[in-house]
Chain A
């Protein structure tokens, strides 16, 4: 099955869900997180994410970007507020239903987070762990279509010859490609990326961003990216959310982001360094 067919088939099957969510794949309502009592890292964040396009969240480190993105799939437990994915509040879910919700959200990490001692192929199939029965996982009898799709994706990310290589034999850029492919393997309705380029050199960073944008667009998956690099954010995002001190201080098109906003987000002293 070609990529295009795949895309068509899946967007058709998803149509009713979209309607229910009223055009937004994800809505955050008054999301608050405090690791310590009385010191919130996120303050009452409310945001809506449409069903397509790339949204970049920018802001200095320590401002809660990473916490925000991890609250969405509850790698971090929010203190209060709601995370609505297609109308379901993820903060209310437990056990199997939480896992079922998580598998619909792909995630790409700063440190790639591949299982180093497994092959590239097995790392890709790790994206299917939420779908495949434990017995099949244990015996590595993954379904035919999963294996076929994994090979297609390997082809797509240009690592077709690396299927049986161990993940720790890859370079940083190659690992992040595998990381993206693993997230896409989940057939997610939303892709999260937490500083996906911070551990990479500038050129590889651009390649990774292009790959992520294109793969998401081919499959009609909306993307939310945490990124501290404003230039990359401007280049690849269709919308930018600026965060400072745990609150949203800018939300709009990349073109609307001016120096005043950046000063507000990053503070005055660093402004010179951030604006090219």
Chain B
């Protein structure tokens, strides 16, 4: 039997180009990828009663989210027009539409950057958010210690003090106090620099004392109106009747304390920039994790789409009908990115 006598091979498979089939299979995996995030978010939110929904707490900007939705819709429209132009062999028109899409993608990321900056400036970051008043007070304590250490570092960096144990903040404070009182400078220290730093040393030590006071009251869980250390604390404790205890430290006290520190001329600015306004947000860390996870991965997809369009645009005059499938598949990808945002926008921005 000859081979030619055999029946011709059946035409099998899905009646679309392989590249398009590949793109749709990829989009299938992408659907599962984003549904995992969005679905988990919905489930977590349903299970977390008291989920932060006030824009004043979360710093979610509905207006910017809405503008970004509009930007993506316009870009999707331009991609469709670009593909139509490719099919009708009007390649320069297709390039114009793709340039517009690329520009809108940049705009989308720019707006997202503004939103992210708002989150960073309010410390709405995973793991940074106090979920109880106690956590908020501890956060103030930590941040204030960081401010003190940063101010103290100036003295050791300029060798005004001879620090052997930088971690021991009380010893460093004592050395700075001595330096401020006119103690002899270590070898190699600049006299002119010492003249500048010496007048503010006492104030920086005073900031350390304020921090120590807060820290002691926080550790002892005693109101700032009561002593929390030293002989006064011992005497007050001895005077307590059986069953009595000191009033505990409250967040509003810490807020007032912080407000006073911020008013100081010498270190008010450093405290303002270094210590965030205490803010309690239950499930705030979960919210921040989900917000950055979903919007972050979406932004990465936007960047990938931009690369795809840039590849087409780099062809310039060489763009021809051979690129039609590429533009169509890139368009499919871009519409999917738009599709994800269509659900992210109401879920993260609108439903409070």
Question: A and B bound?
Answer: no
Q: Using a CB–CB distance below 8 Å, which chain A residues touch chain B?
A: none
